[in-house]
């Protein structure tokens, strides 16, 4: 079981660069399209902010290995148990709905 865990961790670490590249690509596209989105300046500003967050996430993914990310996640959940529980429930609900639609 330990070997499987190490293999999964290694595989995720191997793909961090590709994931970061995908996030940066999405951020770039969002920056490019922000001004043409309906809703005016307010929506464009929100799009640019979201793109900046994607870029920050790409940097984080590129700089941290899986073990470091898991430690950060544990710290976040311990420091914010209520919001973490709500987020987990929301994600579980959305995943459940997506699987139910595929049946």
pLDDT in tens, 57-88: 999 999 999 899 999 999 999 999 999 999 99
Extract the tokens encoding 95: 């995943």
What is the CA 31 to chain-centroid distance, rounded?
A: 18
Indicate the domain borders of the chain: 1-63, 66-103
Give this prediction's pTM: 0.70
Of 89, 90, 92, which Cα lies nearest the Cα of 100? 92
Exposure b/e, 45-63, CB count within 10 A at least 16 = b: eebeeebeebbebbeebee
pLDDT in tens, 8-29: 888 888 889 999 999 999 999 9
């Amino acid at each position: 079981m330990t070997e499987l865990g190490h293999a999964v961790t290694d595989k995720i670490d191997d793909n961090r660069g590709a994931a970061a590249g995908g996030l940066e690509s999405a951020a770039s596209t969002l920056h490019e399209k922000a001004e043409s989105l309906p809703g005016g300046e307010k929506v464009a500003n929100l799009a640019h902010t979201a793109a900046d967050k994607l870029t920050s996430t790409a940097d984080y993914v590129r700089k941290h290995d899986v073990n470091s990310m898991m430690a950060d996640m544990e710290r976040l959940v311990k420091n914010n148990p209520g919001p973490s529980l709500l987020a987990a429930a929301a994600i579980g609900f959305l995943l459940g709905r997506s699987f139910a639609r595929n049946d």
